Structure 1
């Protein structure tokens, strides 16, 4: 209990520990031969189910209703799909001195994935920000990411020589990501109520698909010796780069929210939704976009950034909450 309480202070929950455990397990017992083939098919099925659930959980009216606050969503969108990619391209100067070619590929890919949904909303709520605005902004980011992330990979990573997405990869994107998402939208009238009443299957697919992808990625990394030349100092350097990247984005989003005259509740949305990157969306996409490449090395920056953003944003949310005026809460309690 003492350990759990200590870890909870740093927002390292059981799922994060499960990801670490699966990565260690795959490093010790990587899937090879027939096991690797079965794992590959299981991962594809899990990704298909994951994006089908994304489509089924999103009501089209939710996105349309939130579009009225276009200024807020535009700023979050710009931070996710303009600011981050520009910073990713700028970090090219660190290759190969601080970042190897494979690690820089992962850093640039990290900058192209959409924002998180659950943690963005949760932290906005803790910080007493505009929760409905966060819901719409985060959802729109994930919706757009299904289309924009592959497009940005093709545009930026093909031209820089860091990745190669050909016609077959585009077909894989359509079959594994877009098709189940559209299918989920079509099935929504039939299964949306059931999904709301039964959270366990959704949670199982959400988390199970990520754990499968992590195991597959790290297994492939061990079989391919993807980390053979990765020294401890390179890992330390990568962590430092991830911390610096998050610090810059947090500073820019904070300044932009204030400079553009948004109320504090909307500034909180911009900071938390605009500074995050989705592990749940980014890992499955990576297995499709970088098929046949060292996936384990490519997703490593995203996994490290994900943990850092949770720890830092948890602390920021608590700080915002302490600065918030407690009177509205007291008034509600009085009713």
Structure 2
């Protein structure tokens, strides 16, 4: 075969070439084995001519407008897939473990009807507790009286307001009204402010009857030494034992232990220079004396002798 005939044959074959996607689908039935073998073992002359020649580059089919749009969409989706996955991972890590009954971000959330982005950014919102209903003046007065009957130490207005779940500014005026009502009615007890709080006390004019009932012949009075030591602590607090002993002129270790046992004096730290323990009076001390703070203690000047400076110099 001449070169010209060979070129014509190749041109005819290229013109008759059909793209794979346009070729008709082969029949479902498989060809006979013998025929298939004969086709493989007995190549045609045209096949020999093609094998002897260099391969011809097949022309690319013209792209349709729909194919171009589909390719552009595939490139856009492939470029966006990784950022979306990274964003979803960050949202999942920020979200943490799901709450009970809450779907995971992903297939389960989509199956539950929750979009992926919405499920990742969802936060559990709890409803604020409803405020307690405000008591009427009569109910508030009765509740305060019931609490004050069972307290064993003065209770502040803030604590009463928290227990009753009421505003603190309402509690103070009602307590004042209760105290004024007890006084006007002439009861044997009164509501009095002491040690930073409120508590019911017996009236001083009935103290003899109360002492007779409570003491029943038993003496629980403090000794003279204990009273003197307690006075020094009350007016000089915080104070060390050595300072108390220097003021009284005698050792007061045993008396201090007695006052601590009675609950009238307590430790309140140490001195910076010497490291000695400091002592002060307790809330029970204020309660027993009917005081609100130690600032209400009477001044000492009226009880001091006129020659106190001379006595101090003679002691030195």
Which bin holds the TM-score, normalised by the shorter protein? under 0.3
The structure whose residues are more often helix, as a share, is: 1
Higher relative contact order (CA 8 A, sep 6+): 1
Higher strand fraction (1 or 2): 2
TM-score scaled by length of structure 1: 0.22
Q: Which of the two has higher C-alpha Rg?
A: 2
